[in-house]
Amino acid sequence: MAVGMQWIGDHLPEILRYAASHAALAGLPLLVGLAIALPVGWLARRQPRLAGLIVGGSGLLYTIPSLALFILIPLLLGTRILDPLNVYVAMTIYTLALLVRTVVDALGSVPEATRAAATAMGYRGLGRLVAVDLPLAVPVLASGLRVAAVSNVSIVSVSALIGYPQLGSYLTDGYQRDYPLEIGVGIVGCLLLALLFDLAIRGGERALTPWLRVGR
**According to the model, what pLDDT value does residue 214 have?**
64
Residue 207 is predicted with a pLDDT of 92
Instruction: Identify whether 1 is part of a domain.
Output: no
User: pLDDT tens across 67-113, in order?
Assistant: 889 989 999 999 988 899 999 999 999 999 999 999 999 998 988 88
Q: Considering the entire predicted model, what is its pTM?
A: 0.91
- The CATH number linked to 71 is 1.10.3720.10
State how far Cα 54 lies from the chain centre.
19
| Domain-embedded: residue 87 | yes
In this structure, is residue 189 part of a structural domain?
yes
pLDDT tens-digit series, residues 135-194: 889 999 999 999 999 999 999 999 998 888 999 999 999 999 888 999 999 999 999 999
Helix (H) or strand (E) holding 113: helix 112-120
Alpha-carbon distances of 61 from 65, 69, 169, rounded to whole Å: 9, 10, 25
Residue 150 domain boundaries: 11-210
* R_g of the chain computed on alpha carbons: 20
